[in-house]
Structure 1
Amino acid sequence: MVDAKILVIDDNKSVLSALEILLQFEYKSVQTISNPNQISSFPNFSALDIILLDMNFSAGVNTGNEGLYWLREIKKKAPHISVIMMTAYGAINLAVEALKEGASDFILKPWNNERLLTTVKSAYELRKTQKEVVQLKEKETNLKQVINQNSNYIIGNSKALNRVLSLVQKVAKTDVNVLVTGENGTGKELIARELHKLSARQNEVFISVDMGSISENLFESELFGHVKGSFTDAKEDRAGKFEAANGGTLFLDEIGNLSLQMQAKLLSAIQNRVIVRVGSNKPIPIDIRLICATNCNLDKMVSDGLFREDLLYRINTIRVEVPPLRERENDILVLADFYLNKFISKYGKQGLRINQQAQDKIMAYAWPGNVRELLHTMERAVILSEGNVLKPDDFLLESKGSISMENGPSTLEEMELIMISNALNKHDGNYSAAAEELGISRQTLYNKLKKTSK
């Protein structure tokens, strides 16, 4: 017996009885309705698998319009349900109209029992397939949401960062190609994800590809996919990153690391918006939002013959330059505090705080590794901390108070650096006290130290 729920709707009680007897030995649940007006108040159409619906209910009427009306009403309530229309008046145009309105099949009265059971079985298989499609779409939607979730946030409120975010908001709503540039560790992928999150494609996938990690031999397979047997390890058909990102956003990180040969293949795909899997001749159209990122100077690489100028034009409709952390002064301590709380929670070190001298040290450092370096520095400090207070010695950064000039200062900058170094040594790394002795503000002291560390 098939675990399916069937509803029969017909004003002829003899028809209802006959169908109920025929179907109850094949299907788990068979219900009947003799009055079509009960359709409006039926509790749960979505729980049904199949409906057998008569097309004429009023005496002397054989147009089928009543059945078509109720078919439309049922489909409004349960779009994916399989509905089989029944009539004693067979006409091709009526059957076609019913199928157009969403019916899955059409049977004539009186029916052949074997043929009716075959029709119902086919309708049930269709319903099963539709259920699976709906479930797959729900899984796909949930998977996209999981993929697009990112635990990292863009933290900060500095002018430099706000300028970038303002540009991102303007560009995100369009589909233009964006090139995100900046030093290592500045958060280029976060900017790319923000572009995706604010775009019309936000409910589709965001696929990130580290171009620097793809070998030249696997480049086409990784990006464009391959068919079974196209090379030794191609044991099954596989979609590439372009196909996986279809409808969504494709983020190509470290694009400056590609060889000229790989650049040519990439250019063709971007230009034509069509890819061909390795081992296949079938062109596959793609619809993606392309975002690329690099820490390289692509303009200089073009001049040096290391990067294709036509590819640069393609990926560089809009360029977003992510500022280094040293230019986001107001954000440094905000980020440090954010990561401190994150790692306090992760490693169970409640009550931990950073004292003023340590904050001064953090602010004065140039952060050549940018936000990524700050993250790792904070994690290391929290892990190795022994008390409730993080002090300057807990942060393993290059010291600015130990610089010596063996042959004496040769420039004004070197003289300033020696004076600052001496003041910091005298006051045990207390930046406020050192700045006061030097007659400058603490912010000026930070700026001077940062300038020397670049």
Structure 2
Amino acid sequence: MQEGKVLIIDDNKSVLSALEILLQFEFKHVETISNPNQISSFPNLPDYDIVLLDMNFSAGVNTGNEGLFWLKEIKKKAPSISVIMMTAYGAVDLAVRALKLGATDFILKPWNNEKLLATIKSSLLLRKSQKEVQKLKQKESSLKQVINQDSNFIIGNSSALSSVLNLVGKVAKTDVNVLITGENGTGKELIARELHRLSSRKDEVFIGVDMGSISESLFESELFGHTKGAFTDAKEDRAGKFEAANGGTLFLDEIGNLSLQTQAKLLSAIQSRTIVRVGSNKPIEVDIRLICATNCNLTQMVADGIFREDLLYRINTIHLEVPALRERENDILILADFYLKKFTAKYGKPALRINDAAQEKLLGYSWPGNVRELQHTMERTVILAESNILKPVDFLLNARNELSFENVPETLDEMEKIMIDKALQQHNGNYSAAANQLGISRQTLYNKIKKFDL
């Protein structure tokens, strides 16, 4: 017995009885109506899966127009319900009109029981499939909302920041490729998310990829996907980041840290807007809005022969430079107050206040780590605060001084962190060059950067 709910609408009571007897052993719930005027007040019509609807209800009338009228009324109340039209007067043009108005199928009276049951069961499967598709669409929409949801937002009103946001507003509505540059911790990903939020793709997914964390051997699999059996650990087909971002925005962070070989592969995908999964030869078209970000000087890298000039031109249709926090002086105290409220709430601290001298200290600091450093400073200060009034001594600011006898790290981790930080500064954030100087692999360097939160 099927789980479906069937509603039969016919003015011939003998037809209703015959169908009810036939279907009661096939479906758990069968309901009948002899007057189509009851459709308007019929309770829970959208809960039904199948409607068997007669085409003619008035004596001597066989045009089928009455059935078409009630078909439209049913579809208004329950758009996804499957409606099977029934008539003793078959005509191809009538069937075509019914199907165009949303009918699922068309059967003639007198019917063949086996054929009728097959038609109803087929319509029921279609109805269930449509329900599943609708659920998947709702789930996809919910997932996109969750993925796109970000608790961070851009804070500040300085002229330097306002200038960037003004340009973001102009560029967002287009689909041009955007390159975002700026020092570490300035909020390049937030700018990318703002571009997505203001774009026509805002209801689609935003996929961010940290290019520095992807090893060269896994680059193609991560970005373009792979087929089952393409390599040892490929136990099933998998879509890459380009496919996942189809219809939405793809954000490639740390793009300056790619090798020349991976740059060539990326350039090919960007130019053709098609990708090929590892282990396949079938091209897949992708529709993405591309945003890239880096803290490297790509123009200098092109001059040095370590970044492709054609790739730079391809990703750099619009260039946005995110200002360093030291260039946003008006925003330092605004951000400090924001993080102060955030972390006092998080750690259950009483209301804290930054006194004037401490504010001067914050304003006088260069903030080499930018907004990220300010955030960590405020969190540490709130955790260690012993008074409701925060004074200069409560803010442990480190200007990243050179090593001296008075400032010798106490642990190897501290020493390692300082050496990595110096190497990154010397090479303008280029991971490959810094790794070569330190005598470690690029992946090892990246892991340590994550560990020390540099």
> Please, what TM-score do these two structures have when normalized by structure 2?
0.85
Tell me the SS of whatever aligns to 2:312. helix
Amino acid at match of 1:109: K
Residues 45, 78 of structure 2: 8 Å contact kept = yes
For residues 229 and 103 of structure 1, the distance between their equivalents in structure 2, rounded to whole angstroms, comes to: 44
Tell me the SS of whatever aligns to 2:43. coil
Q: Does 1:297 align with 2:292?
A: no
1:47-446 map, 5 Å = 47-398=47-398
Residues 368, 399 of structure 2: 8 Å contact kept = no
More displaced stretch, 116-125 vs 282-291: 116-125
| CA offsets 1:226-278 (integer angstroms, 9 cap, x no match) | 11011111100000000000011000001111111111111111111111111
Tell me the SS of whatever aligns to 2:296. coil
For residues 244 and 397 of structure 1, the distance between their equivalents in structure 2, rounded to whole angstroms, comes to: 41
Match in the other structure for 1:447: none
Amino acid at match of 1:5: K
| 1:107 to partner: Cα distance | 1.6
Percentage identity across paired residues of the two chains: 79
Tell me the SS of whatever aligns to 1:58. coil
Residues 6, 29 of structure 2: 8 Å contact kept = yes
Residues 180, 188 of structure 2: 8 Å contact kept = yes
Amino acid at match of 1:106: F
RMSD between aligned alpha carbons?
1.5
| CA offsets 1:355-407 (integer angstroms, 9 cap, x no match) | 2221111111000000000001111111111222222122111479xxxxxxx
Residues 325, 371 of structure 2: 8 Å contact kept = yes
Using a 3 Å threshold, how does the CA distance of structure 1 residues 325 and 399 change in structure 2: closer, same or farther?
closer
| 1:15 to partner: Cα distance | 0.9
Tell me the SS of whatever aligns to 1:28. strand
| CA offsets 1:259-310 (integer angstroms, 9 cap, x no match) | 1111111111111111111111111111111110010111111111111111
Match in the other structure for 1:39: 39
For residues 367 and 350 of structure 2, the distance between their equivalents in structure 1, rounded to whole angstroms, comes to: 27
For residues 276 and 134 of structure 1, the distance between their equivalents in structure 2, rounded to whole angstroms, comes to: 30
Match in the other structure for 1:416: none
| CA offsets 1:97-123 (integer angstroms, 9 cap, x no match) | 323332222222112223222221221
| 1:43 to partner: Cα distance | 3.5
Q: Which runs of 5+ in 1 are unaligned?
A: 401-454
More displaced stretch, 120-129 vs 151-160: 120-129
Residues 211, 258 of structure 2: 8 Å contact kept = yes
Amino acid at match of 1:145: Q
Q: Which runs of 5+ in 2 are unaligned?
A: 401-454
For residues 80 and 245 of structure 1, the distance between their equivalents in structure 2, rounded to whole angstroms, comes to: 29
Amino acid at match of 1:47: D
Match in the other structure for 1:415: none
| CA offsets 1:3-27 (integer angstroms, 9 cap, x no match) | 3221111111111122122222322
For residues 180 and 45 of structure 2, the distance between their equivalents in structure 1, rounded to whole angstroms, comes to: 51
| CA offsets 1:128-152 (integer angstroms, 9 cap, x no match) | 1111110110011111001111010
Q: Over alpha carbons, which structure has the higher Rg?
A: 1
Residues 5, 29 of structure 2: 8 Å contact kept = yes
Amino acid at match of 1:348: G
The size of the alignment, in residue pairs, is 400
Match in the other structure for 2:451: none
